[in-house]
Amino acid sequence: MAKVKKAYFCKSCGYEAPKWMGRCPSCGEWNSFTEEIIAKESGSVAASIVRLPSSQPQRVRDIRENTVERLDTGNAEVNRVLGGGLVRGSLVLLGGEPGIGKSTLSLQIALSANGLRTLYVSGEESAEQIKIRANRIGVGNDECLIYTETLLENIVAQIEELRPDLVVIDSIQTIYTDLIDSSAGSVSQIRECAATLLKYAKTTSTSIFIIGHITKDGTIAGPKVLEHIVDVVLQFEGDNNNVYRILRGNKNRFGATFEIGVFEMADSGLRDVANPSEILLTHYDSPLSGIAVGAAVDGIRPYLIEVQALVGNAAYGTPQRTATGFDSKRMSMLLAVLEKRVGMKMFSKDVFLNFAGGFRVADPGLDLAIVAAIVSSYYDRPLTEGVCCAGEIGLSGEVRPAPRTEQRISEAARLGFRRIVVSGYAAKALKKPRGIEVVYINGIEQLPRALFVEE
């Protein structure tokens, strides 16, 4: 009888072991091992090592540089996140929560990449379902082929025959190879399929987009090895209740990481938002208290965002503090600083905080805007019109320069803001900006005066 070959895999990093272990010796994760059947017959285990064409050691100066060829995906925001287009032969991993729009985005790319032959492989939806989606998006590229298949060997055979420029695999968790007997979506299947796709991407110069689902804790389901072998890791994020989506480059071997692309989910697919500030700022008829505008930077892209705060008297002993889209620990820290340095009685106040558009923000340069919104709501007094802020706040109440302050200032000036409050410690390094008044403050206690200006 054929012997069943089993192995244990770490779900976090893909480490393989012959027996179960409580803690992974490779990544240190606890309770991450799962049993998987690799092969029912000995000898059919695939070699996970990708064999690229053999080469000889050579000096750096002797290496001939081929300028990387970049393909136009037909989508300006995607091109920007990829660093100026999709590099031929690159492997891109696109991760995101279910329903966020990964399939929509990749189908849109496949349909808008004019002049490229694209192959959209779906293991999740039928051809009819994809047709309905394509109708909503609008069919552009006639050279886009839809292929519903889950067996890797068939997919690879089609890639070899059709020689497409771009292949989309939707999703890596649904495809499987015959060489391994464990079920689709298991660590060994994902690892093997990704390795095979990598080999084909590199040897046939086909660019491959791999879609990967995300687990609850925010990592791409499947082993970390997936992130190691691909050239680019893109993360598609956003609030399911909101229409805005952010495409973030977490790793990019061919360009700057930390680029972001912003999209709006519309009836006819995803729409590029070239100017995020436009959607993140609301124009009110009359000024309202509790609203401040922060000049933020995400990656290298500056934008202005509206911060809303509500400060009210706490009805119960323990005040409520709720921050949506922002780290609530950081908010508590800012409240403690306000209490101690400005003397505001925050201990008896409920504080609620959120950002326009359901955005999640981690930029410490928004501290000043957050505090400004809180101060405005506390005194129930609207800020002077046309004021925005950019600065980080330290524990002693000092206002520190936010990274890329200059870009934040020019973005604010571009959008017609008349005055921006920044850290005085940044004054020396800054060129004199045009068209906007810059107010320098060194401590948080100077903030109220800068915010409420009698005109």
The interface region with ligand TYD, picked from 101-109, 113-121, 404-412, 444-452 by CB under 6 A, is 101-109
What stretches of 39-172 show up as alpha helix (H) in DSSP?
A: 76-81, 102-112, 127-137, 152-162
Q: One symbol per residue from 269 to 298: x for binding ligand TYD (CB under 6 A), - otherwise; what is it?
A: x-----------------------------
Closer residue to ligand TYD, CB minimum distance, 269 or 382: 269
Closer residue to ligand TYD, CB minimum distance, 146 or 447: 146
**Closest approach of Cβ 102 to ligand TYD, in Å?**
3
Closer residue to ligand TYD, CB minimum distance, 246 or 305: 246
d(CA 357, CA 131): 31
Contact status: 134 vs ligand TYD (CB under 6 A): no
Q: Which residues bind Mg ion (CB under 5 A)?
A: 103
Which residue in 209, 206, 205 sits closest to 168, CA to CA?
209
Closer residue to ligand TYD, CB minimum distance, 109 or 390: 109
Among 74, 85, 101, 302, interactor with ligand TYD by CB under 6 A:
101
Give the list of residues 6+ apart from residue 299 with CB closer than 8 angstroms, or none.
Answer: 248, 249, 256, 257, 258, 259, 260
Q: One symbol per residue from 102 to 131: x for binding ligand TYD (CB under 6 A), - otherwise; what is it?
A: xxx---------------------------
d(CA 304, CA 282): 11
Q: How many Cα neighbours within 13 Å face the side chain of 320?
A: 13
Among 31, 183, 268, 275, interactor with ligand TYD by CB under 6 A:
268
d(CA 309, CA 108): 37
Which two tokens mark 41? Answer: 């017959």
Q: Could you report how far apart the first and last alpha carbons of the chain are, in Å?
A: 90
**Closest approach of Cβ 245 to ligand TYD, in Å?**
9
What stretches of 163-224 show up as alpha helix (H) in DSSP?
A: 187-204
Q: Hey, is 450 helix, strand or coil? A: helix
Among 5, 88, 133, 330, interactor with ligand TYD by CB under 6 A:
133
**Closest approach of Cβ 137 to ligand TYD, in Å?**
6
Which stretches does DSSP call E strand in 196-300? 207-213, 232-238, 244-252, 260-266, 269-272, 291-298
Among 74, 85, 96, 222, interactor with ligand TYD by CB under 6 A:
96
Q: One symbol per residue from 43 to 82: x for binding ligand TYD (CB under 6 A), - otherwise; what is it?
A: ----------------------------------------
What stretches of 113-174 show up as alpha helix (H) in DSSP?
A: 127-137, 152-162
Residue with smallest beta-carbon separation from Mg ion: 103
Closer residue to ligand TYD, CB minimum distance, 268 or 396: 268
**Kindly report the CA angle at 333 between 329 and 338, in degrees rounded to 5?**
145
- With CB cut-offs between 5 and 8 Å by kind, which of ligand TYD, Mg ion, none does residue 218 bind? none
- With CB cut-offs between 5 and 8 Å by kind, which of Mg ion, ligand TYD, none does residue 268 bind? ligand TYD
Which two tokens mark 206? Answer: 């086909």
User: What length does the chain have?
Assistant: 455
d(CA 261, CA 269): 15
Closer residue to Mg ion, CB minimum distance, 97 or 406: 97
**Kindly report the CA angle at 214 between 353 and 239, in degrees rounded to 5?**
30
d(CA 276, CA 268): 19
- With CB cut-offs between 5 and 8 Å by kind, which of ligand TYD, Mg ion, none does residue 101 bind? ligand TYD
**Closest approach of Cβ 157 to ligand TYD, in Å?**
25
The interface region with ligand TYD, picked from 7-15, 59-67, 264-272, 279-287 by CB under 6 A, is 264-272
The interface region with ligand TYD, picked from 172-180, 267-275, 283-291, 299-307 by CB under 6 A, is 267-275
**Closest approach of Cβ 116 to ligand TYD, in Å?**
21
Q: How distant, in Å, are the alpha carbons of 13, 79, 366, 399, 403 from that of 393?
A: 37, 35, 9, 5, 13
The residues facing 91 across adjacent strands are: 208
> Which amino acid belongs to residue 135?
N
Can you give the binding site for ligand TYD, defined by CB under 6 A? 96, 98-104, 133, 136, 265, 267-269
